[in-house]
Amino acid sequence: MQTYKAPVRDMMFALHELHGLDSVDPDLAETILNEAAKLAEQVLAPLNASGDLEGCVLENGVVRTPGGFRQAYRAFREGGWQSLAGEVEYGGQGLPESLNKLVEEMVCSANLSFSLYSILTHSACSAIFHHGSPELRATYLAKLTEGVWSGTMCLTEAQCGTDLSLLRTRARPAGDGSHRVTGTKIFITSGEHDLTENIIHLVLARLPDAPAGVKGISLFLVPKFIPDAAGRPGARNGMYCSGLEHKLGIRASATCQLQFEEATGWLVGEPHKGLRAMFTMMNGARLSVGIEGVGIAEAAYQGAVAYARDRLQGRASESTGDRAADPLLVHADVRRMLLTMRAHAEGGRALGVWLASQLDLAATAPTPAAREEAEDLAAVLTPVVKALCTDLGFEAASLGVQVYGGHGYIRDHGMEQYLRDARIAMLYEGTNGVQAMDLAGRKLPAQGGRLLHRFIEPIAAFIEANGADPALAAFVGPLGAALEHLRDASDRLRVPAEVGAAASDYLRLFGLTALGFMWARAAALALPRQDDAFYRAKLRTARFFMERILPQTGALLAAIGAGGGVIEAFEDAAF
Amino acid sequence: MQTYKAPVRDMMFALHELHGLDSVDPDLAETILNEAAKLAEQVLAPLNASGDLEGCVLENGVVRTPGGFRQAYRAFREGGWQSLAGEVEYGGQGLPESLNKLVEEMVCSANLSFSLYSILTHSACSAIFHHGSPELRATYLAKLTEGVWSGTMCLTEAQCGTDLSLLRTRARPAGDGSHRVTGTKIFITSGEHDLTENIIHLVLARLPDAPAGVKGISLFLVPKFIPDAAGRPGARNGMYCSGLEHKLGIRASATCQLQFEEATGWLVGEPHKGLRAMFTMMNGARLSVGIEGVGIAEAAYQGAVAYARDRLQGRASESTGDRAADPLLVHADVRRMLLTMRAHAEGGRALGVWLASQLDLAATAPTPAAREEAEDLAAVLTPVVKALCTDLGFEAASLGVQVYGGHGYIRDHGMEQYLRDARIAMLYEGTNGVQAMDLAGRKLPAQGGRLLHRFIEPIAAFIEANGADPALAAFVGPLGAALEHLRDASDRLRVPAEVGAAASDYLRLFGLTALGFMWARAAALALPRQDDAFYRAKLRTARFFMERILPQTGALLAAIGAGGGVIEAFEDAAF
């Protein structure tokens, strides 16, 4: 059953205890999380199954979201949730990303489709704030920050997904400072809908004098309605939605084909430097997509636990009750599945908050050195969180189905929706294979290995500091082994020709080590507080992770160590 | 794209080269496979996407299958495919199961939903043949063998899936040798449809004097239409379809809720011994479900290869062409995914044929000792093939989506259908967790470990015979390591309390070792024939499996070795 209750206690643990957020008072953070929980549990979650069933409808160029979404979005916006981490200068509340991502997680758990109407707006604000002209900032940022208007990212075209060098959409100067944008974009999330009074598209296109390839791509802001002198939505722009995709999941999210026909747009950032501006947006979006994986893992976990408590089936070997059958929860294999899902959700949450806290530090740390350190760590963690947490989210959703047995396969219980919804996160904002290449091919060799060092150093320091504590040996020992595997694997990837074949396994090895670090630190915090059930559960989940999941690093190192020879040697014609 | 071409060459390899089928002339086997390929490719595959979209419709108790299914089923039946491995005495062709399962695989690749209208009929024949009275055999077996009538298995009730002790359906003697059966069954595959003139339900129910629990369950044959004196469908029986499930996938398969209201039925086998008769049926069905996983893996692989050849995206690092982009196939990470899928499909096929060949031997081997040996091996391999091949089928389907990127998530390319369809096979005919408990909790300790020994002995003999050959070291070495891991893990499971927490990991470890044996033997056959592209591809896929997949056995042993303590210790209230 889709019965979501926001895990505020564990969120507070990740935020304050594990990652030491000190810019927000814990009481305030908890109040905010509890308020967000009400919205997620009471407003958004009840629309998840109905939204999936109903889907979006395109009629005469207008997209109608499922019943209840308009009211829910209004509640979301009026509650100030869109503006939570927005720039204060533009009406935002300026709260840390690490807090904001936990609110995002709740929204994703409750209703992944709904979350997609708001998440990209936050990223669009970031791109306009950092790269837009003062005029663009003045015209668009307040409305976007508040969520009165929403934002999109328009990258993909039919012939061009991962490889933006193939992009065909064109923009020509109109002579008045604006441009005319023409082309067809596909897979545009929230490209058209009925939730906001305007939609602001950030569109990649080529200028007439653009160099070939990715060095000739510029970013344009193209509003659905061109703001008038008073900043209100004015003339309809030359773009429209020509189709909605029929998808495996996130069926309440409008995935649009958009036609731009001499649409008026404004350059964001410098000509031909559009990718840089877009990646400002994309990196934030990649963290958000990782959080989607965490949100689905949590929701699927809760749904599976509820069923495992209620469903009576089979007897435990040591059952003593006089019931005809025991709850599924007594069966060790069911508990194994539940603990795996729990480890995925809590570990992913801890990792996501770690990355978000680095983004906060990169913006606010007092010294350039501290900001650089945070930026480095964020750069290396972004692809890891995106790919690892979405992989684990899908695995958790699949385990959620499995706990239900045949009942998981039918629509009624809602577990199959989590599976369908979870699958998209491994694909968009750069497939997980693209993330792996970003990590292993770009981030790993960057700055002479400095980014990798930023990641390894705090882990090595933790091991050094705690290695002699026998009470922590069951955590520090496996973490140390994983770190050695990561070091070995990183050394092997110094040969560039080995990167491609190893990248996905390397990302998983890297991600498991990162999770191991989260769990070892959690265990160290939990160990002295075993009089409290929360910390007992935390310690045992940490132990479960160390014993049952982390050993995979050895197999991953073996796979990486074998090299890419066989993959390369396989004859193309033989596939 | 769903563009299926039956892998007849590899099927012949599995059948004759790897498993040495000698009861059928290779030319005849190849002719049969080529004919089946035509049906699968030209008749069944074109109905896969349309059947999924259209689904089944229940109106006034009548189930209408999707457009084209009636014609396709007629072609299937008239082509003699239903009767391929049927008993000669009842009009069957008496061909080996090992050949029949390959035909089943083609049908599953082409149209998994369609396959479900025929596969259970074959199992129903087996149950009636082995346990039914002469009258029941005479009345039903010829029609079922030919596929003029179809069969079902009616086990599940709303409160009772895995745990049959909770079964409530009742049967009372009618005084004329028949019984009256009353109860509600759910999740009945092909419980009602429009493809055959009669449907024969094999129903588990309790007699009035039945002992409690699973020792009080009997099996009844309940026809939809009661045959008249001439054996033609006569009076409508007291049962009807009261609902169809809305499911994640296999949407063209009618999953029915059936109401039995004083329906006339006949006992199959002895009173209260229904489970034994049902398991005759179930074991055959479990192999078939494993084959479903193989079929989906093959179909997803082919779909992904087609896209990887066509789609131009990105440049290979060593690209020399003057195209704007290279096919996906040049990218090492894409090749890694394709080879993983290929290894899953070919390895699963080899393993499925191994099991099927043991079923053939169990029926036909000349000595009791040889029959017992084959039965032992079949008993231990059945849960492994069911769970492992369905897990790998789902993994392959998910990789197939991943190769397509965002295009894999939308309906158009058909890859998301494979993912949805594949998921059921991990759930029905006993969830994969139930298979794991069957293997680790029942088969492993059975007969003082004799079943495990039957499995290990030929692997150890192969290693002994080939261990000194340096050309095979890259295959025999990893196989030997996996076998040691399996032996270690098996020793640990001698403590019954450790079985539950370890069972799923143990099944995977067992299954990977079995696949390793298949691949090592394939490599030994392929090595001397490297002038032929088929054997070059076989050898490289074997190498890929050894290097990139088989090392997981070490991590699985570590997880098993950690024991179930943490899983048990986790407090129920803390979930």
What is the spatial distance between Cα A349 and Cα A305, in angstroms, rounded to a whole number?
A: 19
Using CB atoms, which residue from B432, B533, B570 is nearest to A537? B570
Question: A45: which 2 tokens?
Answer: 């979650």
B297, B343 contact by CB (below 8 A)? no
Q: Which domain holds residue B449?
A: 444-564
Residue A161 pLDDT more than 70? yes
Using CB atoms, which residue from A255, A555, A566 is nearest to B552? A555
- Closest-CA distance, B54 to chain A, in angstroms, reads 15
User: A156 to chain B: nearest residue by CA?
Assistant: B406
Q: Which residues of B touch A246 (CB under 8 A)?
A: 410-412
Q: Which residues of A touch B564 (CB under 8 A)?
A: 332
For B312-343, write each residue's pLDDT tens digit.
998 876 665 667 889 999 999 999 999 999 99
B282 pLDDT band (50/70/90 cuts)? confident
For range A373-378, the mean pLDDT: 96
Neighbours of B12 (CB within 10 A): 18
- Closest-CA distance, B53 to chain A, in angstroms, reads 11
Are A332 and B566 inside 8 Å of each other by CB? no
Are B248 and A416 inside 8 Å of each other by CB? yes
A401, A421 contact by CB (below 8 A)? no
Q: How far is CA B45 from CA A567, B107, B117, B289, B344, in A?
A: 30, 8, 15, 19, 21
Nearest CA to A253 among B409, B91, B570? B409
Are A402 and B432 inside 8 Å of each other by CB? yes
**Helix, strand, or coil here: A172?**
strand
- Closest-CA distance, A155 to chain B, in angstroms, reads 12
Q: What DSSP string runs through B160-190?
A: BSS-GGG---EEEE-SSS-EEEEEEEEEEET
User: A402 to chain B: nearest residue by CA?
Assistant: B427
Q: What DSSP string runs through B124-155?
A: HHHHHHHHS-HHHHHHHHHHHHHTSEEEEEE-
Helix (H) or strand (E) holding A8: helix A8-12
**Active-site entry in A429, A457, A464, A498:** A429
Q: Which residues of B touch A162 (CB under 8 A)?
A: 313-314, 405
pLDDT for B324 equals: 80
Residue A492 falls inside a structural domain? yes
Are B317 and A497 inside 8 Å of each other by CB? yes
Are B161 and A540 inside 8 Å of each other by CB? no
| Percent of chain A residues topping a pLDDT of 90 | 95
| Percent of chain B residues topping a pLDDT of 70 | 99
A318 pLDDT band (50/70/90 cuts)? low
What is the spatial distance between Cα A287 and Cα A281, in angstroms, rounded to a whole number?
A: 10
For B180-215, write each residue's pLDDT tens digit.
999 999 999 999 999 999 999 999 999 999 999 999
Using CB atoms, which residue from A163, A308, A544 is nearest to B314? A163
Residue B240 pLDDT more than 90? yes
Neighbours of B75 (CB within 10 A): 15
What is the spatial distance between Cα B310 and Cα A90, in angstroms, rounded to a whole number?
A: 47
- Closest-CA distance, A539 to chain B, in angstroms, reads 10
Residues 6+ apart with CB under 8 A from B251: B51, B52, B53, B55, B56, B113, B420
Are A427 and B405 inside 8 Å of each other by CB? yes
Residue B521 falls inside a structural domain? yes
Residue A319 pLDDT more than 70? no
Q: What DSSP string runs through B300-355?
A: HHHHHHHHHHH-B-S--TT--S-SSS-BGGGSHHHHHHHHHHHHHHHHHHHHHHHH
Q: Which residues of B touch A499 (CB under 8 A)?
A: 332
Phi, psi (rounded to 5 degrees) for A57 = -125, 135
With tokens 């992009």, the residue in question is: A167
For B250-263, write each residue's pLDDT tens digit.
999 999 999 999 99
pLDDT for B283 equals: 82
Residue A505 falls inside a structural domain? yes
Nearest CA to A440 among A355, A375, A505? A505
**How many structural domains does chain A have?**
1
ipTM over 0.95: yes
Using CB atoms, which residue from B410, B549, B553 is nearest to A247? B410
Using CB atoms, which residue from A431, A433, A566 is nearest to B540? A566
For B481-514, write each residue's pLDDT tens digit.
999 999 999 999 999 999 999 999 999 999 999 9
Are B407 and A161 inside 8 Å of each other by CB? yes
Q: Which residues of B touch A503 (CB under 8 A)?
A: 332-333
Are B575 and A409 inside 8 Å of each other by CB? no
User: A304 to chain B: nearest residue by CA?
Assistant: B575
User: B304 to chain A: nearest residue by CA?
Assistant: A575
Residue B449 falls inside a structural domain? yes
Are A504 and B305 inside 8 Å of each other by CB? no
Residue A553 pLDDT more than 80? yes
Would you give the distance in Å from CA A135 to the centre of its chain? 31
With tokens 């392959």, the residue in question is: B396
Residue A3 falls inside a structural domain? no
Strand blocks (E) in B38-107: 57-59, 62-64
For range B59-81, the mean pLDDT: 97
pLDDT for A411 equals: 95
User: B340 to chain A: nearest residue by CA?
Assistant: A567
Residue A461 falls inside a structural domain? yes
For range A282-311, the mean pLDDT: 96
Residue A532 falls inside a structural domain? yes
**Helix, strand, or coil here: A420?**
helix
Q: Which residues of B touch A305 (CB under 8 A)?
A: 575
Cβ–Cβ pairs < 8 A, chains A and B: 265
Using CB atoms, which residue from B325, B336, B342 is nearest to A504? B336
